Amino acid sequence: MPVSLPNVSLACFGLSYLLAFALELARVRWPRPSLRVAGLVLGAAGLFAHTLFLIIRQPTPASAYGALLAVAWVLAIFYLYGSLHHAKQAWAVFVLPVILGLVVMAFASFSTDENHDHSLDFGTRVWGAIHGLFVLSAAVGVSVGAVASTMYLIQARRLRMKLLPLGKMKMLSLERLEGMNRRAVNLAFPLLTVGLLLGAVLLRHYHDFADNWLSVKFLGTVGLWVVFLVLTYLRYAVTLPGRRLAMLTIAAFVLMLLVLIAGHPFVKGDSA
């Protein structure tokens, strides 16, 4: 008997996240429990639809479309977890725009599974999946670091301007945000390193390395790795102030987005 799959589209969870974001913004102005509950319900509904979508459509993470949606999915889990555990903090106000941005970018760079290179052998597929897992995990780390950095910059600005310490938008302390950023980057760096090395090996063995090493994807990933190296050096060797580290983390996030939307050598016809 054929199993009918629900007709989940990108708009389903995109709109759920958008509404959840609107409710979270409203909660900053009117801190009512009903708004929080409604926001969480919509966020959870969005995550559920997002999960169904990934299960049913199975977009390849090697494409911009699949990669952006996969990163957005992991961030959506972070968003719900953070919102449940930091009820009084404006966590969702910062994470949801990133998720929405990733979903919109995925929508804009729409490509179907048909673009996937089916000529690859099983071994390449397995190693490709491992490579993708590492790179996407690193991307999640950078995204979390970027969210923490944005919050850090806003919190630091509030302190610099000596604004109300407990204004309507409650945020984590500078120390906590700096710690989040540090942990996210420290985790993402080795993941990216392994992912990059695996990618280079795969490219060397199964593709025309000479044709691809100048691709935006490859150069961008190497560039991202260099930014991570610089970040680590500045944090531990030069002891750069938190504000500059936060700005550099956000720059790394922007570079990561470029890398994600760039065409992948394993995906034929994916636009760069």
Partner 1 sequence: MNLRAIGCNFRTAPVDMREKLAFDPAKQEKAVVDLSSRFGCEVVLLSTCNRVELYVARQPGEQPFDAGLAAEFLGEIHSVPAAQVGPLLYEHADEAAVQHLARVASSLDSLVVGEGQIAGQMKQAFEFAHKLGTTGPMLNALLAHSLRVAKRVRTETGISAGHVSVSSVAVDYVRQVFDHFRDKTILVIGAGKMARLTLKHLEALQPGKILVTNRSPEKAAEVAAMCGGQAIPWNQLDDALAKADIALSTTGAGEPIMPRKRFVEKVLPYRGTRTLVVLDIAVPRDFDPAIHDGDRVCLFNIDDLARVRQQTIGERQKAVAPAEAIIAVEVKKFTEDWNRRKSGPAIQQLRTKFDRVRAEVLGPLLDKLNGKLTPADREYIEGAFRLLQNKLLHAPIAALQEASKEGESRKLVEAMQKLFNLNG
Residues that bind partner 1 in the complex, under the rule CB under 8 A: 30-33, 155-162, 164-166, 168, 171-176, 179, 239-243
Min dist CB 53 to partner 1, Å, is 36
Measured CA to CA, the distance from residue 97 to residue 103 in angstroms comes to: 10
Min dist CB 161 to partner 1, Å, is 7
Q: Which is nearer to partner 1, 2 or 241 (CB)?
A: 241
CB 139 within 8 A of CB 102: no
- Residue 152 tokens read as 């850090």
Measured CA to CA, the distance from residue 168 to residue 29 in angstroms comes to: 7
Min dist CB 163 to partner 1, Å, is 8
CB 90 within 8 A of CB 171: yes
Q: Which is nearer to partner 1, 105 or 148 (CB)?
A: 148
Q: Which is nearer to partner 1, 25 or 74 (CB)?
A: 25
Min dist CB 237 to partner 1, Å, is 12
Q: Which is nearer to partner 1, 159 or 201 (CB)?
A: 159
Measured CA to CA, the distance from residue 236 to residue 230 in angstroms comes to: 10
The gap from C-alpha 187 to its chain's centroid, in whole angstroms, comes to 14
Q: Name residue 171's beta-bridge partners.
A: none
Measured CA to CA, the distance from residue 47 to residue 52 in angstroms comes to: 9
Q: Which is nearer to partner 1, 66 or 145 (CB)?
A: 145
Min dist CB 147 to partner 1, Å, is 17
Q: Which is nearer to partner 1, 182 or 217 (CB)?
A: 182
Residue 194: CB partners within 8 Å, gap ≥ 6? 134
Measured CA to CA, the distance from residue 67 to residue 270 in angstroms comes to: 12
End-to-end CA distance of the chain: 42
CB 142 within 8 A of CB 188: yes
Min dist CB 192 to partner 1, Å, is 24
